[in-house]
Chain A
Amino acid sequence: MVRILNTVCVALMGLSILALYHVSEQTRVASVELNRVGRAIVQEHATISVLQTEWERVAGPARIQELAAAHLGLTGTPAVQMSSFDLLPRRGDDAPLNNSPIAQASAQAADTAVPHSGL
């Protein structure tokens, strides 16, 4: 009985050693892979960081204005020509400037608009 038990224990020990070696090797490989992926992530983060910065530079207001003026012929829009949804009248409401001289705004805005260069 004792001999069988001894044999089983030794066998278990041998299997455990093999299993532990296998796990250890898998861990080492995984660790190497983890470090490789980690470095790749760092590299990608760095690349993204550079690209984000480059995007901020090329999409900056100064460059957009320059391009808009050069290629689209856009000019400055008088503030009176800008509005928001909050200022739109609800259906059935009187227009906020009903019968008021605002009807002439688009015709006269260009004259009264404050000029500014660039745009």
Chain B
Amino acid sequence: MKQGPTIYQRRIVIGAVFCAAAFALVGVRLVDVTLFKPHTGGVETVDRPLTARNDIVDRNGELLARDLPVVDLYALPHTLSDKDGAARDLARVTGADYARLIDGFDNTRHPYVLVARRLTPDVQANVMHLGLPGLEFEPAAKRFYPDGRATAQLLGVTDPDGKGVSGLEQGLNGALRETGAGKPVQLSVDMRVQYILGSEVEDARKTFGAEKAGGIVMNVRTGEIVAMVSLPDFDPNFRQFTGDDSDHNIMAADRYELGSVFKVLSFALALQDRTTRPDEVFSIGNGYRIGKFTIHEAEHMPATLTARDVLAHSSNIGTAQIALRSGPVRQAAFLTSLGLLKPLHSELPEFARPLYPDHWGIIETATIGFGHGIAVEPLAYVSAAASVVNGGRRIVPTFLKTDADRRGAQVIAPETSAELRGLLRYVVTNGTGRKADIPGYDVGGKTGSAEKPGKHGYQSHVLVTSFFAAFPIEDPRYVVFVLLDEPHGTKETGGIALAGSTAAPLAGRVISRIAPLLGVPQKPVTVARENT
């Protein structure tokens, strides 16, 4: 008779089974960890520096803003044997206030004293060389803008906690604070164009002694803002304003009565509705009376002008007659379709609500026709004017890079847009915009010189001059808008401060420098003509 396993043998088998199960468990876990489980640990966290906000780059990948690793320096006063000497040394190296430090070191209630925030690596090294005990460095980040003032108004700044408080830093705060992404936010801005626009506008501002000045370059098909400048500006890397520094972006946060550049829109409406023809003759005279008001010209005009010359010579009287044919209802509807009667919303948080009359009657229709009685932000005007020259489709601005044609609803017919572009070219070749004409590029545009309102009505010698330009005018790719707030005439301009002498040449200089960079082909015929 076969005997069964003894109690000891059973125990050994049970023990062996337990051992085998334990080894199997360890084996399964090993396979799981080594083959199937994705690795998480220290290595992945080192792929990018520990920063709070993502980079901002321009359309070509050039860095515009980055969080740099810095440290906050704290001291433990109870470990300092010579508190006065330590305070003196730390104040010298970090720029901290000596009195504040010594007060903090003598105050026994606080174990930690903040010595200085956002120390750069070189300052940190200098602190280390002091050899003081009881110092602690806390990692932090400092937003740095390599191009300084050139992008200040556009990018804005962040607060000490890394939250955007103005400009695109605020408008794109969500995208910039996306954790784990580490992907830079790419803007539509071209830093080369931004610099050129900024330097030319700054030169013009100095030359004409303007209070403020600004400029915008926009792609008329994608709506991308390629450059935006507002002066005076400030240095975003040093939060202290000097001189006439300002963080106010006049191109987005201010509204202006832009004057005659609005005639572009009045003519677009008139051509679209066929209420006038370019060769129709208008009587100008010495004044145009509507009720108890009389509209005058800024400069002497011939007795009669064709509609084409009304635009070319910027006749208020002629434009008023043309605008009146459209009527208030149609004019308001047209400006609404261009987005001029509502605040413009873009990635930029700054905007200005437009000002327009509550009662939109005959007088208002006439004055709005030549750009008085309505105040809009310059960016909104650029968007509207780009919409009537780009084939007649509504385009809204964006500050993010895109390759898509973002043109929307048709606001005027493509044929009307082409006809209008012909008139704008005529303004530059035969009218007030001659100084914007440059060799190699067919520029079309319109001047605008508006008197600024004061306490006692419009001030005849206090102007806002501007120029709206599109190029190449046959099939525009970009528009340029420049504005000078309170420019003064110079010896070279014969004391004249009107847009034809101030803003138009500025726009011409900007286009002559940026067009080759933007790859806009030159027109050989124009080159030849300009050089004969």
Contact = CB atoms under 8 A, between A and B. Distances in A.
B531 A80 contact: yes
B531 A2 contact: no
Given A45-B49, A56-B63, A80-B527, A61 B438 contact: no
A interface: dominant SS: helix
Contact of B519 (A60, A84, A105, A114): A84
A25 to B, nearest CB: 17
Interface stretch (B75-83, B192-200, B242-250, B365-373): B192-200
Main secondary structure of the interface of B (DSSP, over half): helix
Interface in A33-59: 34-35, 37-39, 41-42, 45-46, 49-50, 52-54, 56-57
Contact of A84 (B41, B121, B521): B521
B531 A104 contact: yes
A41 B531 CA distance: 59
Given A53-B68, A104-B531, A109-B439, A116 B513 contact: yes
Contact of A79 (B42, B49, B439, B532): B439
B144 interface: yes
Contacts of A41: 43, 46
Given A34-B43, A116-B203, A57 B528 contact: no
Interface residues of A, number: 51
Given A105-B527, A108-B531, A79 B68 contact: no
Of B46, B438, B505, B532, which is in contact with the most chain A CB atoms at under 10 Å from its CB? B46
Interface string A26-38: 0000000011011
A2 B12 contact: yes
A104 to B, nearest CB: 6
A49 B45 contact: no
Contacts of A52: 63, 66
Nearest to A52: B63
Contact of B50 (A42, A54, A86): A42
A93 to B, nearest CB: 13
B68 A114 contact: no
A42 B66 CA distance: 16
B512 to A, nearest CB: 5
Interface string A85-119: 01100000000110011101100110011111110
A53 B146 contact: yes
A23 to B, nearest CB: 10
A45 B9 CA distance: 63
A86 B532 contact: no
Interface residues of B, number: 54
A82 interface: yes
Contacts of B148: 57
Contacts of B532: 101, 104, 108
A9 interface: yes
Contact of A50 (B46, B69, B441): B69
B150 interface: yes
B144 A53 contact: yes
B439 A101 contact: no
Contacts of B147: 56-57, 60, 62
Contacts of B508: 114
Contacts of B438: 79, 114
Nearest to A13: B19
Interface string B1-40: 0000000110010001001000100000000000000000
A87 B42 contact: no
Contacts of A54: 146
A60 B146 contact: yes
B402 interface: no
Contacts of A2: 8-9, 12
B43 to A, nearest CB: 6
Interface in B142-157: 144, 146-148, 150
A57 B50 contact: no
B530 A112 contact: yes
Given A79-B522, A105-B528, 16 more contacts: A2-B12, A34-B43, A42-B46, A46-B49, A49-B66, A54-B146, A56-B146, A60-B147, A61-B195, A79-B438, A79-B441, A101-B528, A112-B531, A114-B505, A115-B509, A117-B203
14 contacts: A2-B9, A34-B41, A35-B42, A38-B45, A60-B191, A79-B441, A82-B516, A84-B521, A96-B524, A102-B531, A105-B527, A116-B200, A118-B199, A118-B203
Interface of B: 8-9, 12, 16, 19, 23, 41-43, 45-50, 62-63, 66, 68-69, 121, 144, 146-148, 150, 191-192, 195-196, 199-200, 203, 438-441, 505, 508-509, 512-513, 515-516, 519, 521-522, 524, 527-532
Complex A-B, nearest 4 residue pairs according to Cβ-Cβ distance, in ascending order: A56-B146, A61-B195, A38-B42, A101-B532
Interface of A: 2, 5-6, 9, 13, 16, 34-35, 37-39, 41-42, 45-46, 49-50, 52-54, 56-57, 60-62, 65, 76, 78-80, 82-84, 86-87, 96-97, 100-102, 104-105, 108-109, 112-118
